[in-house]
Structure 1
């Protein structure tokens, strides 16, 4: 049987790779017993979901502009360094 540390590692890895049948069964058994690891799993999934939504919003945002003062400062710095 897995302990919490092993389970949390496998849950985290499951977001990036497919676990083996044995690993999946061991995680399921542990999650069935441990409320804390179930919460951790839910939190990880929520974080991943929210990050994905945030990335999509950032890609589609077009209202982000650099203030003119900052543009002038960058231009000035580039002119002096060139």
Structure 2
């Protein structure tokens, strides 16, 4: 069974590369039972979205507003 430290590492790796089926299953199982890790995963996704929006050229950012 995956522990929280391993889950945090896997959540980070998930943003950079596709996970194997075994990794996905282990991560899903852990985050289903661990609310703090589930929240951490959501926060990581939000931070990634915010950083992408921040790095867009200004003219593209203004088109959405």
Q: Same fold (TM over 0.5)?
A: yes
Contiguous gaps of at least 5 residues in structure 1: 62-82
Counterpart position of 1:34: 34
- Larger RCO (CA under 8 A, 6+ residues apart): 2
Q: Deviations over 1:32-64 (max 9, x none)?
A: 0000000100100000000011111xx226xxx
Counterpart position of 2:11: 11
Question: How many residues end up aligned between the 2 structures?
Answer: 59
Give the structure with the higher percent helix: 2
CA distance in 2, matches of 1:49, 1:35: 21
4+ long deviations beyond 3 Å: none
Question: Bigger radius of gyration, 1 or 2?
Answer: 1
TM-score when normalising by structure 1: 0.69
Contiguous gaps of at least 5 residues in structure 2: 60-65
TM-score when normalising by structure 2: 0.87
